Structure 1
Amino acid sequence: MKLKNICLGALALSMVSGFALAGALDEPDNMAPFFTDAGMKTMKSEADFKAAWASTAKDKQDTMMKECQDAAMSKPHAEFCANLMMYAGHK
């Protein structure tokens, strides 16, 4: 019985921590304006990317920029972060 409780506790902890690790770059609503397709595989042109960035709320901009500057958070979003740094500039 103790083993079952330990396993359930570990599963619950992993699920909770998994949600905690999701950031602004993992939110489809935040990322969709920067892509041309629903699957978010093709990024918009430079002008459209800049326009999408300009229309993004300041708090989201700050969070996205911070996550792009964190190597671990930005790795799955390397192409997006490279464009963000190039087009939106460093803060």
Structure 2
Amino acid sequence: MASKADAASPDELVAEIEETRERLAQTVDTLIDRTNPKNIARRNLESVKSQFVDANGSPRLETIVPVVGGIVGFVGLILVIRKAVG
């Protein structure tokens, strides 16, 4: 039984090698882009920003209000503890 390589002409093999080389180069470029620290930081920032701002740029109050409330509550708790201890 003949393999694919046995039946292929030298020109076909060269073309196949070039296609494989191009796919490999694209894969390496994609991996480099994904692992670039600046790109990772940008993606993380966009992810956090999307939690607080919708696609139109309007604030998402359903997310912002609980966070602000939590911060205010935490600061209030710290002030009460400091007053009780001090």
TM-score, with structure 1 as normaliser: 0.34
Query: Does 1 or 2 have the higher relative contact order (CA < 8 Å, sep 6+)?
Result: 1
- Structure number, greater radius of gyration: 2
TM-score, with structure 2 as normaliser: 0.35
